[in-house]
Every structure is written in C-alpha cells, then in structure tokens.
C-alpha cells in the first residue's frame, strides 16, 4: 500500500506524526498534544499542534484509543512513517562483524538458520522467523548404491542443494557390489541436474534394478519438493510476550496459536514474502484476520531459481520498524552470500 502523491503531508504535520509514532513505539503510551509541546520544540503554539493532530486524526493517520487519551498511530500512520518519514537504519559495523563471524563458524544451512534466527530476534527485539531454504525443485546430483545383503541395497541420494536422503531397496534378485557401483556411476553421470519428473520419465523407459532405483530416487525428490512445517524456525517468543500488548489474554492466545501451528506459519510466510523485494505488512493489511493486530517484515534469501527461503520478524504494530528492517535486510543478504559461497 504505497503512499500516493496526493496524500503527502505538510512538513509540520509529518513531523508531528513522526513524533507520535516514535514516542508511542518507545513508551507504549498514547501521545497527547501537551507531551508534544513539552518534549519537542516545533516552534508553534499548543493550539496549532492540537489542530494539526485533529487533522491527522480526521485523515486516518492517528486514532484516539479512548476519550481523554492521547493519540496512537493507525495502520495508515505507520505506513506513512515507514515510507516517507523514517530515517534509514543500518546495523553498527561491529554488530555486523559479530554476526558474520558466528555464521561463518557454522558449516551447513541448518546451523546458519539457527544462528540467524537468534540474531534476528535479538536485533529486532521481537519474534524472528526463518524458513529453511529449499530447492525450488529438488535436483539430482549423485547416487550411491551400497550392498547390505544379497537382495538388499542402501540407496544414498545426494541433491544439488547438499541434502542427503537414504532408502533401503529390497531387490528382486541378488546383485553384487560391483554391479551396484557400476549402475551408481552411470546414473550419476547421466542424470545430474534433473528433477523428480525427469527421473520418473527415465524410469518409464528403464527395466529391472535401474527402474527400481530411478523410481525410488524420484519419490525421495518429490518428498523434498513438498513444503514441510519443520522448515520453520523461530526465536524471541519470550521477549515478544513481555510487550504490553500481550497483557491481553486474547492477544496472547492468538500469538500462541500461531506459533504452535507450524503449517500456518509456513503458509503465512509464503503468502507475505512475494517476489524479490522486502515486504512490510502492517496490522489490517495482513492476509490472515487473526493477525490484524500484528506487523510482519519479510524478505527472501537464497539463490534465485535454485534455493529460496524467507527471513521475517513478527510483532505488534508498535514495532521498532527501523531496527527490524535493518536486521531482516542484513541477515537476508548474509544468508544469501553464504549460500552463494557453498552451493554454487
């Protein structure tokens, strides 16, 4: 929901909105005109500030939660703040160096994901969510067949993104290790880079042991292509629950229901992280009605056309957007760089 040119606020009203958003994020208390006058020198009278706040409220940028209270930002106000008023935030160089060092100490995608999830929740001071990068379509890299008994072989399938899958094969006739090795070498040389559908097509033209191996490998790759709820990792739930918004039992229950349903989380992140750009979804913009009081910032990471995942933060609409955006952006870039070094 980008801000339209016709909706650009005057400099002073934009500054007042910036103050209300910033102070409400920091203190979690409605901001009144007297607070603005006392703590921010705008060079105008309190009457002028009250009038400007009334206009901002009429235009939907701020709201009054109850009579005689100050004002809080609306979803529209947060959107304007992010797109027009917010100063860019960059993580300090020493923080970037520390995260980079921690990521480079680990050797695989699973460990990188754990490190990045912890770093994300600490930096954004809310819940961090990362989906494990998966191949857009699993691709065959290498196969090994190991004799276990005369009529039992272990199939070891290596995928291009580095994952290894295994399956026991019960053979129709005894097969020697030499014959298994010869078939492994031939299939590895001829099938590299193929997906599950292509393997199934080759299986239809094959017979005997080769057909059995190809069909088993294709089934393993089809399973890899299916979304899995255990691909979602999260951190920072305890910190998020301490925010004042979750003093309400209903909102806390909603949060716990969302977190406990990994399939819901996986689907949510797939819906909000579209294309190649970072997405910011604020309150009522959420595709899920139960999350209309939350904000989500999400960005893709990975190797375009090969492996992709999502890095995101979720919290109340009173989120520290500058810090959260900087954290998501930096970690998405860092994870992408790591994968480019190890999987290309």
pLDDT digits (tens, 9 = 90+) for 23-41: 999 999 999 999 999 999 8
Predicted local distance difference test score (pLDDT) of residue 246: 81
- Do 68 and 213 belong together in one domain? no
Asked which of 171, 191, 225 is the last residue of a domain, the reply is 225
- Do 75 and 11 belong together in one domain? yes
Asked which of 225, 251, 284 is the last residue of a domain, the reply is 225
- Residue 284, domain CATH: 3.30.450.40
What is the C-alpha end-to-end distance of the chain, expressed in Å? 36
Total count of domains within the chain = 3
- Do 243 and 318 belong together in one domain? yes
Beta carbons of 89 and 33 less than 8 angstroms apart = no
pLDDT digit string (tens) for 259-268?
Answer: 888 888 888 8
DSSP string, 179-247: HHHHHHHHHHHHHTT--HHHHHHHHHH--HHHHHHHHHHHHHHHHHHS--GGGEEEE-HHHHHTSGGGG
Indicate the burial class of 168 (C-beta count within 10 angstroms; 0-12, 13-18, 19 or more).
exposed
Predicted local distance difference test score (pLDDT) of residue 50: 92
- Do 101 and 221 belong together in one domain? no
CA distance 309 to 281: 18
pLDDT digit string (tens) for 116-137?
Answer: 999 999 999 899 999 888 766 7
| 70 pLDDT higher than 50 | yes
**Which residue matches tokens 């005997």?**
208
- Do 239 and 338 belong together in one domain? yes
- Do 216 and 168 belong together in one domain? yes
**Helix, strand or coil for residue 126?**
coil
- Do 336 and 265 belong together in one domain? yes
Asked which of 196, 225, 254 is the last residue of a domain, the reply is 225
- Residue 203, domain CATH: 3.30.390.60
Beta carbons of 91 and 123 less than 8 angstroms apart = yes
- Give residue 20's domain range: 5-85
Predicted local distance difference test score (pLDDT) of residue 5: 47
- Do 27 and 114 belong together in one domain? no
Strand partners, 294: 316
Indicate the burial class of 289 (C-beta count within 10 angstroms; 0-12, 13-18, 19 or more).
exposed
Query: CA–CA distance from 170 to each of 150, 153, 178 (Å)?
Result: 10, 7, 17
**Helix, strand or coil for residue 119?**
helix
């Amino acid at each position: 929901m980008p801000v339209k040119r016709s909706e650009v606020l005057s400099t002073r009203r934009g500054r007042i909105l910036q103050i209300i958003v910033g102070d409400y994020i920091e203190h979690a208390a409605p901001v009144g005109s007297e607070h603005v006058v006392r703590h921010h020198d705008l060079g105008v009278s309190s009457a002028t500030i009250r009038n400007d706040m009334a206009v901002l409220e009429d235009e939907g940028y701020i709201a009054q939660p109850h009579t005689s209270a100050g004002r809080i930002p609306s979803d529209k106000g947060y959107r304007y703040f992010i797109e027009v008023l917010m100063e860019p935030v960059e993580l300090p160089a020493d923080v970037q160096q520390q995260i980079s060092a921690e990521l480079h100490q680990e050797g695989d995608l699973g460990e990188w994901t754990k490190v990045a999830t912890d770093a994300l929740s600490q930096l954004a001071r809310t819940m961090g969510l990362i989906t494990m990068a998966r191949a857009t379509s699993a691709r065959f890299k290498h196969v090994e067949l190991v004799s276990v008994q005369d009529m039992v072989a272990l199939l070891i399938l290596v995928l291009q993104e580095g994952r290894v899958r295994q399956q026991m094969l019960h053979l129709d006739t005894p097969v020697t290790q030499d014959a298994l090795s010869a078939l492994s070498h031939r299939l590895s040389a001829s099938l590299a880079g193929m997906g599950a559908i292509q393997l199934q097509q080759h299986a239809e033209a094959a017979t005997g042991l080769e057909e059995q191996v190809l069909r088993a490998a294709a089934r393993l790759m089809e399973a890899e292509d299916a979304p899995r709820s255990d691909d979602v990792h999260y951190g920072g739930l305890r910190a998020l629950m301490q925010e004042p918004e979750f003093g309400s039992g209903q909102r806390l229950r909603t949060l716990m229901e969302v977190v406990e349903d990994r399939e819901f989380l996986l689907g949510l992140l797939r819906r909000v992280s579209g294309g190649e750009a970072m997405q910011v979804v604020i309150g009522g913009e959420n595709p899920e009605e139960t999350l209309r009081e939350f904000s989500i910032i999400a960005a893709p990471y990975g190797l375009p056309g090969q492996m992709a995942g999502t890095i995101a933060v979720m919290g109340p609409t009173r989120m520290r957007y500058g810090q959260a955006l900087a954290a998501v952006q930096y970690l998405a870039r860092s994870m992408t760089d790591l994968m480019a070094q190890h999987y290309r």
